[in-house]
Amino acid sequence: MNKSKKYVVLKWIAAALVTASSLAAASSFDDFFSAVKRDDVAAVRQLAQRGFDLNTRNEAGEHALFLALRDEAPAVASYLLGDSKVQVEARTSKDESPLMMAALKGRLEAARRLIERKAEVNKTGWTPLHYAATNAGDESVAMVRLLLEHHAYIDAESPNRTTPLMMAAHYGNPGVVRLLLQEGADPLLKNQQGLSAIDFANRAQRAESAEIIAAFVRAKQPRGRW
């Protein structure tokens, strides 16, 4: 075989190897995110053992840990949290973190593990406490308490100055409204639209939350002297 033909053959082999490698990588990518969605921890573990990067993001730029928490895949979420190389502060394009999703979904154990791994409790903008306060389930009270125990700023302001108390008043559990007030949340703060927590409650027709806030404000008012 002359040098020219040998060069062509070698070039063809190299191209074939690159193509095969690309196809394998694409297959692993699809297999990984499919396994996350199915909560198939065995498949995720197998891919990791073959060298697949667990910090790979999907086409939307979302991290697997965030997806596992969002899409109810607790086994995969637990596995990823147990891998020290997995990034616990991987944010989405909307600046949402895995801890925010755990807080929203009421995944208390996952939230504990994220905090142990130094996930940011007090990130700027929307915070895990905002997300926890939005959950209307009974588990939200324990989640809010956990975040407060780890120094979550109780009157954190979102980009439009909405506080966790406002979110709880509009969407959340009345028990969270009560807890936030007991722990020092300011019910008189207003967002950029000039709305207070009780306005949020009234707009959402959340009578119980509105009454909790009103009673708290009344109790704080100084009593007149006769």
At 201-224, the pLDDT tens digits run 999 999 999 999 999 999 988 765
Q: Is the pLDDT of residue 121 over 60?
A: yes
Q: What are 127-142's pLDDT values in tens digits? A: 999 999 999 999 999 9
Name the token pair of 57.
């993001």
Instruction: Provide the domain limits for residue 222.
Output: 121-226
Interacting residues of 201 by C-beta distance below 8 A, sequence separation 6+: 169, 170, 177, 207, 209, 210, 213
In a domain, 204, yes or no: yes
225 to 57, 164, 222: CA distances (angstroms): 64, 35, 9
In a domain, 132, yes or no: yes
CATH code for the domain of 174:
1.25.40.20
| Percent above pLDDT 90 for the chain | 85
Terminal alpha carbon distance of the chain? 113
52 to 14, 43, 56: CA distances (angstroms): 23, 11, 8
In a domain, 39, yes or no: no
Q: For the residues of 62-104, what is the DSSP string, one character each?
A: -BHHHHHHHTT-HHHHHHHHT-TTS-TT---TT---HHHHHHH
In a domain, 127, yes or no: yes
Q: In 3-state terms, what secondary structure has residue 57?
A: strand
Lowest-pLDDT choice from 5-9, 12-16, 43-47, 92-96: 12-16
Q: What is the pLDDT of residue 224?
A: 56
Cα 181 from Cα 175, distance rounded (Å): 10
Q: What is the pLDDT of residue 182?
A: 97
Q: What is the pLDDT of residue 222?
A: 74
Domain count, the chain: 1
Give bridge partners of residue 63 from the DSSP assignment.
Answer: 57
Q: What is the pLDDT of residue 218?
A: 93
In a domain, 98, yes or no: no
Q: What is the pLDDT of residue 220?
A: 84
Section 107-119 average pLDDT: 98
| Percent above pLDDT 70 for the chain | 87
In a domain, 94, yes or no: no
Report the alpha-carbon angle 171-177-179, nearest 5: 140
In a domain, 45, yes or no: no
Cα 49 from Cα 38, distance rounded (Å): 19
Mean pLDDT, rounded, of the chain = 90
Cβ atoms of residues 97 and 90 within 8 Å = yes
pTM, two decimal places: 0.86
In 3D space, the residue among 179, 98, 175, 89 whose CA is nearest the CA of residue 131 turns out to be: 98
Interacting residues of 96 by C-beta distance below 8 A, sequence separation 6+: 66, 126
In a domain, 67, yes or no: no
